[in-house]
Amino acid sequence: MLKMLAALAALVLPTAALAQTPGPERIEVMILGSYHMSNPGQDVHNARIDPVTTPEKQAQLEAVAGALARFRPTAVAVERIARDQTTMLDHRYPEFTPADLLTNPDERVQLGYRLAHRLGLERVYAIDEQDREGQPSYFPFEDVQAWASANGGEARLGAMHGEIAAMLADLERRQATETVGQLLARINAPDRVQWDQGFYARLMAFGAGDDQPGAVLNARWYARNAQIFARLLQVARPGDRIVVVYGSGHNYWLRQMVETTPGFHLVAPGDYLPTP
């Protein structure tokens, strides 16, 4: 019996010792989904955003930066394609000055650059992935529309369009009564992130048999987000605390990828932003 216990101990002790061995420091990541503050009009649906370069909005954005600074970020990543794919550094950030905040409404500048400059960070990464010439689109929505038109699905798709339009109209109205920080907190709330993903998931109902444009759209959308996250994973360092500023439509998959990657820990923006 004693020999059996000794044999078991020989098997268990190395495993226990291994479990006690400290691993690399975990990487904390905050995915901060944002509305597009510069009104680029590049999405299927677009909100009319009030100017964020006014004194009132600038004060609100300063408050957002102050709140996010409590996270003590060591790096920032934004929705831009890096010119140098070996370093992934944002080639535009070195030219940034605080004066740009009064003329450039882009959320990458207003949120990402503002925060990085406030904290004296040099590591601002551009981790985006976009459509490439000769390759399938990452968001082939026109194929979904064509299928709906050819198969009696216009009313269903139109109803979904109506839901998005109502949500954006609500955002436009709230600009008059809520601060930028409150709007961002609302966009990044877990129920809103789930709702956004639900729109994409419901598109998979548009298709039949071998013709599945809704499923293909979801697969391509996931692929783009996977490329984005892969770049983040490759530039992250042990112990980092990274704020990722991205269009809110990317919220669900980027968060899911952080949560399921060993060594990474997801930090909720709601723990720092004001409650709506």
Residue 5 confidence class, pLDDT cut points 50, 70, 90: very low
Model confidence at 14: pLDDT above 60: no
Q: What is the dihedral of CA 214, 217, 219, 223, to 10 degrees?
A: -170
Residues with Cβ within 8 Å of residue 47, at least 6 apart in sequence: 35, 36, 168, 171, 172
Q: Report yes or no: 235 and 75 within 8 Å, Cβ to Cβ.
A: yes
Model confidence at 3: pLDDT above 70: no
The position carrying tokens 């000055």 is 97
Residue 46 confidence class, pLDDT cut points 50, 70, 90: low
Average pLDDT over residues 18-31: 72
User: Is 126 exposed, middle or buried (CB count within 10 Å of its CB: 0-12, 13-18, 19+)?
Assistant: buried
Q: Report yes or no: 188 and 174 within 8 Å, Cβ to Cβ.
A: no
pLDDT digit string, tens, across residues 69-106 = 999 999 999 999 999 999 999 999 999 999 999 999 99
Average pLDDT over residues 144-167: 96
Q: Residue 19: its pLDDT value, please?
A: 41
Q: Residue 43: its pLDDT value, please?
A: 53
Model confidence at 62: pLDDT above 90: yes
Q: Residue 40: its pLDDT value, please?
A: 61
Q: Give the max Cα distance, the chain.
A: 80
Residue 275 confidence class, pLDDT cut points 50, 70, 90: confident
Q: Residue 12: its pLDDT value, please?
A: 43
pLDDT digit string, tens, across residues 182-240 = 999 999 999 999 999 999 999 999 999 999 999 999 999 999 999 999 999 999 999 99
User: Is 127 exposed, middle or buried (CB count within 10 Å of its CB: 0-12, 13-18, 19+)?
Assistant: buried
Q: Residue 258: its pLDDT value, please?
A: 98
Q: How far apart are CA 240 and CA 153, in angstroms?
A: 47
Name which residue leads in pLDDT, 115 or 42: 115
Q: How far apart are CA 110 and CA 167, in angstroms?
A: 23
Q: Residue 42: its pLDDT value, please?
A: 55
3-state secondary structure of 242: strand
Model confidence at 7: pLDDT above 70: no
The secondary structure of residue 211, as a DSSP letter, is: B
